[in-house]
Amino acid sequence: MSRLSQGDLAGAQALARDAPPGLTPLQVAINLAKFSDLYWVLDSAQQALVLRSRPGDFDGDAGSWALALAEIHALQGNQARARIYADSAHRAFLAQTRALPSNGERYALLGLSLAYAGRHAEALRAGERGVALTPMSEDYSVGPYVQLQLVRIHLLAGDTEAALDLLEPLLEAPWYVTPAWLRIDPTFASLRGNPRFERLEAEHP
């Protein structure tokens, strides 16, 4: 995470390939895909490991498993496969929100899965519910992550200005996303060249 915050994608990928003792390559790939949405840091071999995985490899978390596969398929340009897995993730996260109705993170992930499935209006409602339940002003641990998911939802829906409105305060928060991170994360590829986004990067060196 420190390497990514410095914009050092190659360094982060080198560390990701150097599995700590006791962890298999699959476990490393799954942990990166599941936590903090680092699926885009995986190299092609690691992505292939995740795409061959099963929910049991994700400790039975079918939502996180299906969302990771949706994200990787979308990154690889296979939108049809991404939507299939996003729909599976949506069903799993919907069940989780019903079981944990006050958990903002679950709502954010529900919204993200709906966005990958192309159901943007529903995605925005779920993402906004997540932010309302876990605002950054009250939770600087989980709140920024939840807000980032709403940024991603807006980007998937094609609403650049709304995404930037939410992204700006994230750069003010004591958190790992930095302008250097923005420059290497493909999540923000659609913003590159946008004058407002470029100003945002310049104001936060």
Q: Which residues contact 86 (CB under 8 A, 6 or more apart)?
A: 66, 67, 70, 113, 114, 115, 116, 117
Cβ contacts of residue 50 below 8 Å, gap of 6+? 29, 30, 33, 39, 42, 68, 69, 72
Find out whether 142 and 119 touch, Cβ atoms under 8 Å: no
The stretch 45-66 carries a mean pLDDT of 97
The pLDDT tens digits of the residues spanning 26-53 come to 999 999 999 889 999 999 999 999 999 9
pTM for the complete prediction? 0.95
Domain span including residue 76: 2-203
The size of the chain, in residues, is 205
pLDDT tens for residues 135-185?
Answer: 999 998 899 999 999 999 999 999 999 999 999 999 988 889 999 999 999
Number of domains making up the chain: 1
Reported as half-sphere exposure (CB side, CA atoms, 13 A), residue 190 has a value of 15
Give the model's pLDDT for residue 204: 58
Q: What is the pLDDT of residues 85-113, one digit of tens each?
A: 999 999 999 999 999 999 999 999 999 99
Structure-token pair, residue 14? 């080198």
Q: Tell me, what CATH number does 143's domain have?
A: 1.25.40.10
